[in-house]
Chains A and B, each alone.
Chain A
Amino acid sequence: MAKQIIKERRLQDDAWKVVTLVDGEAPFDVCLPVGPLLVPLAVWKAKKACLIHREYEHGTPLGIWLAPEDKVEDIAADIDDFTVIAVHFPKFADGRGYSTARLLRERYGYDGEVRAFGDIGRDQIFYLNRAGFDAFVLGEGKSAEDALAAFDDFPETYQAAADQPDPLFRRRVA
């Protein structure tokens, strides 16, 4: 069965593969399988020319994934090269990725897919969606049905975020 992802508020098949470095593997040594790839930041830095070539010559869309500690600033200049920017949540309690997504959307104006993957589930979806994520690969054993219900947890929000540029107080009818 194809891997599934939540996008546009429904489950869809997903063709993207996540490339990870095995312990001690040098980023330029990594073998790139065919098809659309999400590569780690280190691989992007080491094999930028090759990855761009794949995209231009073979039309293979290009994606990257960022670990919690990876700085958005490091890819700010390259943002237009990516069809997908994924952010990894090794533990749901590590919330650095929320800042990553907001910066991508609000500061750098990235309008491609921003995907959350890792230890995420129903309790995180509302926040992730507001922070600018629009695609979600749920953690092991997490219910997609539950997660889909979470988008509507709250009908209104106080703060400005990636999904809503104005805080509530600027939207109140006088």
Chain B
Amino acid sequence: MLRLAVPYGLLSAPQLRKFADIARRHDRGFGHFTTRHNLQLNWVQLPQVPEILAELAEHELHAIQTSGNCIRNVTTDHFAGVAADEIADPRPWAEILRQWSSFHPEFAYLPRKFKVAISGATEDRAAIQVHDLGLQVVRDPNGEIGFKVYAGGGLGRTPLLGQVVQEFLPWQHLLTYTEALIRVFNRYGRRDNAFKARIKILVKALGREEFARQVEAEWAHLKDGPATLTVAEVERVAAQFVAPAYETLAEDDLCHLAHLREDKAFSRWVERNVQAHKVAGYAAVTLSLKKPGAAPGDATSEQMEAAADLAERYSFGEIRVSHEQNLILADVPQRELYTVWHRAKAAGLASPTVGLIQDLIACPGGDFCALANARSLPIAAAIQERFEDLDYQHDIGELELNISGCMNSCGHHHLGAIGILGVDKNGQEWYQVTLGGRQGNDARIGEVIGRSFAAAELPDAVERLIGAYLAHRHADERFIDTFDRIGIEAFQSAAYTQTRPHPHQSRRVANG
């Protein structure tokens, strides 16, 4: 597997076309976008890698620090720069961190990998609390920018939310503080057991206060040193993220409103896949990489090219990768939405299901990944098929369903309102279900509902969970709201009633 970096999820149209070209010539004509914005190619031949990397380099693309126990790709909000709830654009800070972390001479051989995410908006869309280091842009009473710093979050076999180690870190100190924090991790993080080597285990063992104190003590030596950021440097980097040349448009485009009234399928797509934009007359479009029969996050070379074309014609030539494994056109004029929808539909990029059950997150699982205990993709497909009916999906409403094929939790199952984890029981694939997880400001780890399910039982079990929600929900309640109100018990009893005998038992009966 070759994992290609997409720093903070941002791609130009020619870069995305290059991915398409590489996937077509060196792989099987598709790639997999991950929850950390990157692109994975699963069938690359090792001898071809130098040639692939050389071609990528011509487009300022690379695979540096996409694996290994180093500082990985810095991720951020896929609506950065266009979200109405933005405090400040996180991308310049992500770029400053990218530069600082690239070939960092001290941190190439950390106890374990180190993932950083940054959010610049009031609503966290970058899952910062489940990263080794999470940064939330905040402003002090004088309007000065700083960061609320979370450390020690992560999923995996020990899911933990990040602990606040700094309420307000003035922006000048971003690099010196981060260096101090990672130095403490490099020196004192566990190295005796790879499963206990992430920074979250160190933070948990020391406790938030002691960990923060050690970082503070280390930082005292680095603070105000040469790595202290300057206004000039921040402005220089920020200049690369200036807003595109927006037209002055009316808040509402009349043609667009007419299409919304007349075309139900279009209005349904707009409802789910089009997000508000801070500039009048513009919108952000999510091109969905989710549909039954295709692995979530998979895009064919043709789809990547179609997305690149759309970006070039309608969105200033830029594409973002979201951590929900979709592609985003961030700056589309409202008047073009109808055309964009038609073209996206033709390319298979217009499933009108963003935020609904079909928009699930899944890792590549046992079909592709050597670490997996169980397959994720057939489970994803079975659930997507079960809920394929759009009216049914829209009736169920917003629901995050996340699937991981093993405890490494690449599919973020802990954060799903419904989370599914593949487990191995005596060489057979079983699936453990968690409920009540969520990402965002109120991030929470899901609770296990009970014994695991066999693959064949799982779609029924999920349907029964959803049935319990539909039976108990109040008007306008999402699945997660009903769960919070009535608790896990009602779902537990629903999940395990009328369980069909699992195939093993029935076979035994048949043989008996």
Interface flags for A130-174 (1: CB within 8 Å of B; 0: not) read: 110000000000000000000000100111111001111110101
B109 partner, pick from A93, A107, A130, A167, beta carbons under 8 A: A93
Collect the chain B residues with CB atoms within 8 Å of residue A159's CB: 100, 104-105, 227
Total A-B Cβ pairs within 8 A: 73
B102 adjacent to chain A (CB < 8 Å): yes
Give the complex CA separation of A167 and B186 in angstroms: 21
Interface-forming stretch among A36-44, A53-61, A94-102?
Answer: A94-102
Nearest B residue to A171 via CB reads B226
Quick one: which of A58-79 are within 8 Å of B by CB? 68
A28 interfacial contact with B, CB 8 Å: no
B186 with A98: CB separation less than 8 A: yes
- CB <8 Å contact, B103 and A169: no
Which interface class (under 10, 10 to 19, 20 to 34, 35 or more) fits B? 20 to 34
Q: Roughly how many angstroms separate A159 CA and B225 CA in the complex, as a whole number?
A: 12
User: Is B59's beta carbon under 8 Å from chain A?
Assistant: no
B100 contact set on A, CB distance < 8 A: 158-159, 167
Smallest distance from the beta carbon of B110 to chain A beta carbons, Å? 6
Contact A95 B226 (CB under 8 A): no
Interface status of B108 (Cβ within 8 A of chain A):
yes
Residues from chain B with a CB closer than 8 A to the CB of A169 are: 229-230, 232-233, 236
Interface size on A, residues (CB 8 A): 31
CA of A160 to CA of B175, assembled, Å: 11
**Nearest Cβ distance between residue B126 and chain A, in whole angstroms?**
23
Residues of B within 8 A of A117 (CB): none
B106, B110, B191 — most chain A CB neighbours (10 Å): B106
Q: Which of B69, B183, B227 contacts A160 (CB 8 A)?
A: B227
- Listed residue (A94, A129, A159, A166) with the most chain B CB atoms within 10 angstroms of its CB: A159
Counting CB contacts under 8 A, is B426 at the interface? no
Over the window 88-99 of chain B, the binary record of Cβ atoms lying under 8 Å from chain A Cβ atoms (1 yes, 0 no) is 000000000001
Q: A93-B69, A98-B186 are in contact. Are A127 and B103 (CB under 8 A)?
A: yes
Q: Shortest distance in angstroms between A116's beta carbon and chain B's nearest beta carbon?
A: 12
A160 touches B226 (CB 8 A): yes
Contact of A95 among B99, B110, B232, B233 (CB under 8 A): B110
Given the known A-B contacts A99-B186, A167-B226, are A157 and B103 also in contact in the complex, defined by CB atoms under 8 Å?
A: yes
Task: Fill in one digit per residue for A85-114: 1 if any B CB lies within 8 Å of its CB, else 0.
Answer: 000000011111011001000010000000
User: Which residue of chain B has the shortest Cβ distance to A163 in the bound complex?
Assistant: B105
Contacts of B102 in A (CB 8 A): 158
Cα separation A129 to B102 with both chains bound (whole Å): 16
Does B226 lie within 8 Å of A127, measured CB to CB?
no
Distance between B108 CB and nearest chain A CB, rounded to angstroms? 5
Chain B residue contacts of A128, Cβ below 8 A: 105
Assess whether B187 is interfacial by the CB under 8 Å rule.
yes
B19 interface hit (Cβ, 8 Å):
no
Known: A160-B226, A167-B226. A102 touches B106 (CB 8 A): yes
For B102, give the chain A residue with the smallest CB separation.
A158
The answer, among B99, B105, B110, for a CB contact under 8 Å with A130, is B105
Q: Is the CB of B99 within 8 A of A158?
A: yes
Name A129's closest neighbour in chain B (CB-CB). Answer: B105
Instruction: Pick the residue among B108, B232, B233 that contacts A98 (CB under 8 A).
Output: B108
Q: Does B221 contact A (CB under 8 A)?
A: yes
Q: Which of A95, A166, A170 contacts B108 (CB 8 A)?
A: A95
Q: B107 in the interface, Cβ–Cβ < 8 Å?
A: yes
Q: Could you tell me if B103 and A95 are in contact, using CB atoms closer than 8 angstroms?
A: no
- On whether the beta carbons of B186 and A95 are closer than 8 Å, the reply is yes
Give A154 to B108 CA distance when docked, in angstroms. 15
Q: How far is the CB of A133 from chain B (nearest CB, A)?
A: 10
In the complex with contacts A157-B103, A158-B100, A169-B230, A92-B221 CB distance below 8 A: no
Expressed in whole angstroms, the minimum distance between the Cβ of B92 and any Cβ of chain A is: 12
Chain A residues near B230 (CB-CB < 8 A): 169-170
Would you give 18 A-B contacts (Cβ < 8 Å), ordered by A? A68-B191, A93-B109, A94-B109, A95-B69, A95-B107, A95-B186, A96-B191, A98-B107, A98-B109, A127-B103, A157-B105, A158-B99, A158-B103, A159-B104, A160-B226, A162-B105, A169-B232, A169-B233
Residues of chain B having any CB pair with chain A under 8 Å: 69, 99-100, 102-110, 175, 183, 186-187, 191, 221, 225-227, 229-230, 232-233, 236
The 5 closest A-B pairs by CB, nearest first: A95-B109, A130-B105, A169-B233, A158-B99, A98-B106
> Beyond the given A107-B221, A129-B105, A165-B226, could you list 17 further A-B residue pairs with CB under 8 A, ordered by the A residue number?
A92-B109, A95-B109, A98-B107, A98-B109, A99-B186, A127-B103, A127-B106, A131-B105, A157-B105, A159-B104, A161-B106, A162-B105, A166-B226, A169-B230, A170-B230, A172-B236, A174-B232
